[in-house]
Structure 1
Amino acid sequence: MKMKVRAFTLVFCFFTLASWGQKTTKTENIVLITLDGLRWQEVFKGADSLMIDDTGMIKNQGSLLEEYWDVDPLKRREMLLPFFWQTLATEGQIYGNRSYGNLVDNWNKMWFSYPGYNEVLSGFADDERINSNSKINNPNTTFLEYLNKMPEFNGKVMAFGSWDVFPFIVNEERSGVPVNAGFDLAEGEDLTEAERVINRIQQEIRGPWGGVRLDPFTHHFAMEAFKKHKPRVMYIAYGETDDWAHGNKYDEYIWSAHQTDAYIQEIWEMIQADPQYKDKTTLIITTDHGRGVTKRTWTSHGASVPEGGEIWIAAIGPDTPARGEMKLKGQWASAQIARTVFQLLGMEYPDEKAGELIEEMLK
């Protein structure tokens, strides 16, 4: 058995090195970001008229109107997600506006978080084995793990998440990818002053959920890691949007989406200001699942909610043509991301079960 593993490793390393020798893409680094359960309706239409002035879902009647409401959905979406619609829409690509027949869906039929994240990270659905949110190590190999096992990327792959299940989704134990998630603290003898402060504040501000920390902690831990470790591949999983939605807090859901858009802008500006990353980094953004569309069902998702598998994908980087909002009719899936990541890095994805390449995302 050991001989077979070594033989596979040698073949895989030879294959990837050969692929690097033929590399024609400019992408050398990947940043993947997910916003848990953020609906495509808000991404493409902004704040929902059904929810925005309902006192059962917001603290104060009318409190969202000035900042997030306009009768024109194109203006509303820019008010909500300015980075998406001022930068991604002019320099990148955004998929999933079903009004144009541009469809993005989950392959998995579970339509909740662990199956969704497994699909994004491994490239395929596994409904037989990944059918709960339990803290079990992912039996599937994610693209993060494949990269971390390669000499070119070993020790340069990192993950940060607000949900405490991510160490299991990434299979930190087997993959060797360090995952800071849930209420994990920054560790090590060389902590920055900012990391010490974040550690302290996170222990003092627990947030409203048992297994999910507030996104500012995830974001700022990740930003410090960018500065200190200069990873080649970074995965950041924000979680607030889903948890506020489950709590029927539409105002908090909207505020969190807007704040995360600002976080993504900060990441992109950091990328553009750093010679290691500038013009060498592709940023991909997506969600793990959709959710319902009525006042009764918007808080929910899963197989019983018909819209639960409707999602979206966005990308920006040196190999991605600036086509903005994609209006081409067709079908895409989160299962296509893993293979596309490898293609952007100039390699073929090693798992044949993974979804096909998103061809439009490359020149």
Structure 2
Amino acid sequence: MKYFYTWLLLAVGLLAQAQKTENVFLIMTDGLRWQEVFGGADSVLLKDKAFTRNEKRLSQAFWNDSSEKRRQLLFPFFWSTIASQGQLYGNRWLGNKVNLRNPYWFSYPGYNEVLSGYDDDKINSNDKKNNENITVLEYLNNQPSFKGKVAAYATWDCFPYIINQARSQVPVNAGRDTVSGNLTSKENLLNDILQTVPSLASDRQDFITYYLANEYIHKNQPRVFFLSFDETDEFAHEAKYDEYLYAANTVDRYIGRLWQFCQSHPQYKDKTTFIITTDHGRGDKNKKQWTSHGQAIPDSYQTWIAVLGPDTPPLGEIKTNSILFHNQIAKTLAKLLGQNFTNGKPIGDAIPTVFAGNR
């Protein structure tokens, strides 16, 4: 019997050694539709003057008769690097589906589902109330090997409550929060911009979130990092399809630059996985409904997921007729780090195809 346990321990050890991911970045952009991710610019919305102020300019930037070329124009990093080295789920035109489990289809419930793995029907508003559910960020921050190596930067000022910063002790910079301490010149400048230049869309501009996060990553080298953008949702609510597309294209560039940095840094190179997604979808059947989401808007439970990292087979765009749910992301994130995330609630299983040997 003792030989059996010896071999079992060796097998577990070899499995752990075979897994290369030591860091995970979970990146989200609010309310970005799967339709644009997989089809690029929508001709109906692009040509509608109610949504697009400068059709010529937008067409020059993002239009092509081929949907594959359109999506490449809008998301060059997604459809070059992720499509060739990672995985993209959610192209419903091919029968591949990603859905929300929560019944509300808006932000707080969506972010909670992603971060806690539990589609809590008690979370039914965007009110700034501390989340009772333990998120995967909090769970990891309580593990000795990750303590103090987990952080979050976000545009929306509700995240300190979603992540329950007071209880979890995960540092969260969001909304109008400036940074303090031994600041770099960039951080000083970004603090000044944040205090003097108001955002007309979100709680602050996404570029401030990105560049503050970038400075934090360079200085602190976190092992688990949550990064969330908001302007894709806000410009959609304002019925500005042109600004929505530019915001989406900019997020793609941010992610691409962050990946390039990780591939050039010894802490992260070939040891980091990116999980990229959104918190909810938007309307599609009625062109006026693309600006909204929630229970009253059909299709806004429909989303997408992208994964890129050393343990994830390069399957590209997933074309199988299958379905994933957002409550699977938290467990997937933890498993990539060799951790078994639990929080006392019924949470989704890890996504098997994200891991080598499970296709």
TM-score for the superposition, normalised by structure 2: 0.93
Q: How many residues align?
A: 343
Identity over the aligned pairs, expressed in percent? 49
- Name the aligned partner's letter for residue 315 of structure 1: V
Q: 1:288-347: CA deviations, max 9, x gaps?
A: 000001321000000111101000000000100000000011110111011111111112
Match of residue 6 from structure 1: none
Match of residue 105 from structure 2: 111
Unaligned 5+ runs, structure 1: 1-17
Match of residue 8 from structure 2: none
Q: 1:154-212: CA deviations, max 9, x gaps?
A: 11100000000000000000000000001111111x11111001000111211114x62
Report how far residue 60 of structure 1 moved: 2.0
Match of residue 39 from structure 1: 33
User: Quick one: structure 1 residues 113 and 20, their matched pair in 2 at CA, closer, same or farther if it must change by over 3 Å?
Assistant: farther
Match of residue 292 from structure 1: 283
Match of residue 251 from structure 1: 242
Report how far residue 110 of structure 1 moved: 0.4
- Name the aligned partner's letter for residue 191 of structure 1: L
8 Å CA contact 1:29–1:281 kept in 2: the answer is yes
8 Å CA contact 1:23–1:346 kept in 2: the answer is no
TM-score for the superposition, normalised by structure 1: 0.92
1:195 aligns with 2:197: no
SS at match of 2:152: strand
Of 23-32 and 294-303, the range deviating more from structure 2: 23-32
Match of residue 161 from structure 1: 154
Counterpart-to-counterpart distance in 2, 1:202 and 1:349: 36
SS at match of 1:62: helix
1:240 aligns with 2:240: no
- Name the aligned partner's letter for residue 265 of structure 1: G
Q: 1:73-104: CA deviations, max 9, x gaps?
A: 00000000000001100000000000111100
User: Quick one: structure 1 residues 357 and 66, their matched pair in 2 at CA, closer, same or farther if it must change by over 3 Å?
Assistant: same
Of 25-34 and 52-61, the range deviating more from structure 2: 52-61
Match of residue 216 from structure 2: 225
Select which of 152, 170, 185 maps to 2:178.
Answer: 185
1:270-285 superposed matches below 5 A:
270-285=261-276
Q: CA RMSD, aligned part only?
A: 1.4
SS at match of 1:31: strand
1:1-363 superposed matches below 5 A:
22=16, 24-127=18-121, 129-188=122-181, 190-209=182-201, 212-293=203-284, 294-351=286-343, 353-363=346-356
Report how far residue 24 of structure 1 moved: 3.8
Unaligned 5+ runs, structure 2: 1-11
SS at match of 1:308: coil
